[in-house]
Amino acid sequence: MAKTVKLTPPLSDQDVLQLEIGDTVIVSGVIYTARDAAHKRLVDMLARGEALPMDIMGQIIYYVGPSPARPGRVIGAAGPTTSYRMDSYAPTLIRLGLKAMIGKGKRSPEVIEALKTHKAVYLGATGGAGALISQRIKTAEVIAFPELGPEAVHRLEVEDFPTIVINDCQGRDLYELGVRQHRRAAAR
Amino acid sequence: MREIEVAQVTQAVKAAAIAANYEPGADLLAALARGLEEEESPSGKEIFRQLLENARITKEERIPMCQDCGVAIIFAEVGQDVHLVGGDFNEAIQAGVRQGYGEGHLRKSLCHPLTRANTGDNTPAVIHTEIVPGDRLKLTVVPKGGGSENMSRLYMLKPAEGLAGVRERVVTTVEEAGPNPCPPIIVGVGIGGTFERAALLAKKALLRELGQANPDPELADLERQLLGEVNDLGIGPQGLGGRVTAMAVHVLMQPCHIASLPVAVNIQCHASRHKEVVL
């Protein structure tokens, strides 16, 4: 039976080990954004032996490139982007202590394996609900790579951001389970 | 000849780019409401509720419906009795996109393909111009998201593969896309033409109003079949499992070479945005 868990980073092994696919995770506190170009920069920095712009231990990275904030607003639309494009970078960050990623769409076997080995989870947010999700973001600040525009790394403070566990620490996959339950025999 | 100032084109494109991102169409809202009715899985129903709520917030709070405000695709139908004056027509469209994405607080999502440096103003737009009878100019502005575009496919089939081959490719494309393109999706299918024409047909098919039947009874029947097959996959809203993977399948077809059977499948996420202006 799926449960609802409230979490605030930094997350411990225990925080993520209790999570199972289909569970709702309500995230509050500080999370960091990064998508394609930022991931390349982060992994390149590590390869050069440089420190990352944030302490990654126990943190959550949200795959998002928000639209610009109107004057007087915190942020624009801010829904998740498709996660597979970060698959080649994610295991490196998971090995360093990243505990969760928020995105949408399937992950590679390598990412799912890294989640098992290093105890981390992949959380799904509703793709295309950018206006709805923006209301859960209380502050936003660019902390690295401002020249990347929407792809810059932001530090976000979120309150009650709803997500669902897609891949847990046991290697399970909510997408596979969901499709198995709803596929009709007529489908090839 | 009827004269149209290109400055009017800039204004029209700018306004349409903003409206497309902030004003979900009535047909889309009706399709989402139908989806909520038809969906059986609780998580799928919850997604439809969130998308309807997202649409409400978009309009009331003036937040773009999706942070991916898209590549701006412009379909221009230029009446042959129109004389465009006062400047460069294509540049006028680009200026409209630049101003609309700037002043409308829309995300600038275009970059150099290799260095990935952002162009900074969401140009260049992709422009498809057609000359048509009459003295009007119709502009359709389509902000197209990258996630669903990435899941689109083009196949050059052997004629022997026939209708079965076409159906197989459409279903496979949706199956492989899975949760990635933000289902519930709309599937645009282009059959025939050439390599590039099939892709254009697939994209144009997406422009038809949701809930409207294909005027060609043969294609209307094919659309119903394909929608059934796609929804039997069980992918469901956001890929969490469910009945409604696609809200619609739209097909356009035209003759092709005796050696060919091109099929293009253009996937549209549920944030289906397009605004039409006639000058």
Instruction: Give residue A30's pLDDT.
Output: 98
Nearest Cα to A159, choosing from A40, A36, A30?
A30
Hey, what amino acid is at B218?
A: E
Helix (H) or strand (E) holding A17: helix A13-17
Q: What is the mean pLDDT of chain A?
A: 96
Measured in residues, chain B has a length of 279
For residues B39 and B48, give the distance between their C-alpha atoms in angstroms, rounded to a whole number: 9
Q: What is the pLDDT of residues B173-227, one digit of tens each?
A: 999 999 999 999 999 999 999 999 999 999 999 999 999 999 999 999 999 999 9
Scan residues 219-258 of B and list those with Cβ closer than 8 Å to A. Answer: 229, 232-236, 238-243
Please report where in the chains the tokens 């997604």 appear, as a residue.
B47
For residues A160 and A165, give the distance between their C-alpha atoms in angstroms, rounded to a whole number: 15
Q: Is position A1 within any domain?
A: no
Using an 8 Å Cβ cutoff, are B69 and B101 in contact? yes
Cis upstream peptide for A9 (omega within 30°): no
Q: Which residue out of B240, B244, B268, B273 would a mutagenesis test of the A interface target, given it has the greatest number of A Cβ atoms within 10 Å?
A: B240
For residues A144 and A62, give the distance between their C-alpha atoms in angstroms, rounded to a whole number: 15
Residue A79 burial (CB count, 10 A): 30
Give the distance between the most distant pair of CA atoms in chain B.
58
- For every residue of A78-120, DSSP letters joined together read -PPPBGGGGTTTHHHHHHTT--EEEEBS---HHHHHHHHHHT-
Using an 8 Å Cβ cutoff, are A178 and B242 in contact? yes
Helix (H) or strand (E) holding A40: helix A36-47
Residue B223 burial (C-beta neighbours within 10 Å; 0-12, 13-18, 19+)? buried
| pLDDT confidence band for B45 (50 / 70 / 90) | very high
Contact A178 B242 (CB under 8 A): yes
Cis upstream peptide for A53 (omega within 30°): no
Q: What's the alpha-carbon Rg for chain B, to the nearest Å?
A: 19
Using an 8 Å Cβ cutoff, are B20 and B273 in contact? yes
Neighboring chain A residues of B178 at a CB cutoff of 8 Å? 105-106, 175, 179
Is residue B253 pLDDT above 90, yes or no?
yes
**Domains of chain B: which residue ranges?**
2-20+65-144, 147-271
Average pLDDT over every residue of B118-130: 97
- Bridge partners (DSSP) of residue B266 are B188
Q: Is position A8 within any domain?
A: no
Q: List CB contacts of B187: < 8 A, sequence separation 6 or more.
A: B170, B173, B174, B226, B230, B246, B248, B249, B250, B265, B266, B267, B268
Report yes or no: B185 at the A interface, CB cutoff 8 Å: no
Q: Is position A176 within any domain?
A: yes
Instruction: Give residue A188's pLDDT.
Output: 61
Contact B180 A175 (CB under 8 A): no
Scan residues 71-130 of B and list those with Cβ closer than 8 Å to A. Answer: 105-109, 116, 118, 120
Q: Is position A35 within any domain?
A: yes
Average pLDDT over every residue of A60-74: 96
- Bridge partners (DSSP) of residue B141 are B74, B275
Contact B180 A105 (CB under 8 A): yes
Both tokens assigned to A185: 């025999």
Contact A77 B50 (CB under 8 A): no
- Bridge partners (DSSP) of residue A54 are none
Give the CATH number, domain containing residue A35: 3.20.130.10
- SS3 call for B103: helix
Q: What is the pLDDT of residues B49-66, one digit of tens each?
A: 999 999 999 999 999 999
- The gap from C-alpha B101 to its chain's centroid, in whole angstroms, comes to 18
Measured in residues, chain A has a length of 188
Is residue A104 pLDDT above 90, yes or no?
yes
SS3 content of chain B, % helix, strand, coil (to 5): 40, 25, 35
Q: Is position A7 within any domain?
A: no
Is residue B167 pLDDT above 90, yes or no?
yes
Known catalytic residues of A are 39
- SS3 call for A74: coil
Contact B65 A128 (CB under 8 A): yes
For residues A84 and A25, give the distance between their C-alpha atoms in angstroms, rounded to a whole number: 21
Q: Is position A6 within any domain?
A: no
Instruction: Give residue A1's pLDDT.
Output: 73
Is residue B110 pLDDT above 90, yes or no?
yes
Neighboring chain A residues of B63 at a CB cutoff of 8 Å? 67, 73, 76-77, 130-131, 134
Nearest Cα to B84, choosing from B96, B75, B93, B74?
B93
Instruction: Give residue A186's pLDDT.
Output: 66
ipTM of the complex: 0.94
Q: Which residue out of B58, B67, B169 would a mutagenesis test of the A interface target, given it has the greatest number of A Cβ atoms within 10 Å?
A: B67
Residue B173 burial (C-beta neighbours within 10 Å; 0-12, 13-18, 19+)? buried
- For every residue of B218-253, DSSP letters joined together read HHHHHHHHHHHHHHTT---GGGSS-S-SEEEEEEEE
Q: Enumerate the H helices of chain B as residue ranges.
A: 6-22, 26-38, 42-61, 89-103, 146-149, 162-177, 195-205, 217-231
Residue-number span of the structural domain to which A39 is assigned: 13-182
For residues B67 and B75, give the distance between their C-alpha atoms in angstroms, rounded to a whole number: 23
Using an 8 Å Cβ cutoff, are A86 and A39 in contact? yes
For residues B241 and A23, give the distance between their C-alpha atoms in angstroms, rounded to a whole number: 15
Instruction: Give residue B119's pLDDT.
Output: 95
State the total domains in chain A: 1
Residue A50 burial (CB count, 10 A): 10
